[in-house]
Structure 1
């Protein structure tokens, strides 16, 4: 993240402050995970390096490791910058089927700039299974589906978000990319941008490969989407949050 707006004349001072906050938060993460036990995981992110944002992990729920990339919700927060808000008590599902209740609390420096986050993940799979059983016995309907989230390398996360947005967009229009008009293609790139896809390095080539277009075309559509601004977005670009 940029140090623009920092009260310090030396940009290195801003990084030093952020490094100190991350160092102070790490033992807190260990304490939270130890308090809630084996079903809890706490992940500390440094958004200054999106492709390797995970700087500390306590516990194991999503299989994260230090040096891993941020998830989809982190990409979205990075895209919103300092205007982003905490995301609390949302549900997602891992690729292995675990149902996870999560909260993502942003880290800000003394100037109010977002530079990282602390994410608490609770594996509530067993709780959900018991709840479903009780619901069936009581005649209550089973909860709605929860979106699956990709945790892992940056390339995997970008691919998952790209596929989600592209598939939803093409379903909305009932047409593949090759049959979309220019306005619909620009809207698709706006949706990807709003999900934070392009905050990750080398995301544009990945998107271009997924759509079967040249990098130059991908950059052109992205520039057009950003020039039009978010007010031009239609319902096809609206996406729910996923961890």
Structure 2
């Protein structure tokens, strides 16, 4: 590939880089590397988040591509960080010429600071106390009984109908303590869901 063709390709990559950076701004930095000039490889840098400058040298990935045409074309979603310690998710895309050697690279760096902060907020907001009392927020409180039994059974790596007698007694006593047996037709639901008779369910509920 001639130098004129290389220059044209780099110009097209720069256009793509600019479009990507504007689409994912302000979180995304996009850099075009000219691997024909490793000492001054950074040809363009859009939405500069890393503080680097045009004319800065190639990174380790760029040097690796220069040294070996067998280096992977795409290294996607690898952990990285800016010089100030901000976490980054990066993707590096190598571009080869007609001779099979790398001539350029397009690198995408996404600042994860805001996203990790949002993730922590969501995790904190959605966290619930697994030992808290179940409140009936809908008219079909019978579903809460089934969900509680399902949860108890899953903790014992079983299905509700495979629970042993002592486990059936325990889950029924827990339902009683949480007030779920006060729901209309609760004992009928419990018996059916556990695969036992209503008489047995009442017996378990009365035992201390």
Matched, 1:93 2:81: yes
Q: Which residue of 1 aligns with 2:69?
A: 82
* Counterpart in the other structure of 1:36: 24
Query: SS of 1:128's equivalent?
Result: helix
1:87 and 1:122 map into 2 onto residues whose CA distance is 14
1:198-213 superposed matches below 5 A: none
CA contact (8 A) 1:38 1:60 kept: no
Aligned equivalents of 2:60 and 2:121: distance in 1?
Answer: 31
Contact 1:45 1:56 in 2 (8 A): yes
Deviation of the 1:133 alpha carbon: 4.5
Larger radius of gyration: 2
RMSD of aligned Cα (Å):
2.0
Check the 8 A contact 2:79/2:87 in 1, yes or no.
yes
* Higher RCO structure, 1 or 2 (CA under 8 Å, sep 6+): 1
Q: Which runs of 5+ in 1 are unaligned?
A: 1-12, 140-243
1:60 is matched with which residue: 42, 48, 52?
Answer: 48
Deviates more, 1:109-118 or 1:49-58: 109-118
In the TM superposition, residue 130 of structure 1 has moved relative to its aligned partner by 2.6
What are the within-5 Å matches in structure 2 for residues 12-51 of structure 1? 14-51=2-39
Alignment of structure 1 residues 170-189 onto 2, 5 Å: none
Q: Deviations over 1:9-35 (max 9, x none)?
A: xxxx53222111101111111111111
Distance 2:51 2:87 in 1: 13
1:95 is displaced (CA, Å) by 1.7
Question: Following the alignment from structure 2 to structure 1, what is the Cα–Cα distance between the partners of residues 64 and 119?
Answer: 31
1:72 deviates by 2.5
Task: Quickly say closer, same or farther: Cα 1:109–1:127, change in 2 above 3 A.
Answer: same
Q: Which residue in the other structure is 1:106 paired with? A: 94
Pick the structure with more helix per residue: 1
Structure 1 pair 112–71 and aligned structure 2 pair: CA distance change class (3 A): same
2:158 is aligned to: none
- Aligned partners of 1:107 and 1:115 also within 8 Å: yes
* CA distance in 2 between partners of 1:21 and 1:83 (Å): 21
TM-score normalised according to structure 1 size? 0.48
Aligned length: 126
Structure 2, unmatched stretches of 5+, are: 129-208
Give the TM-score normalised by structure 2: 0.55
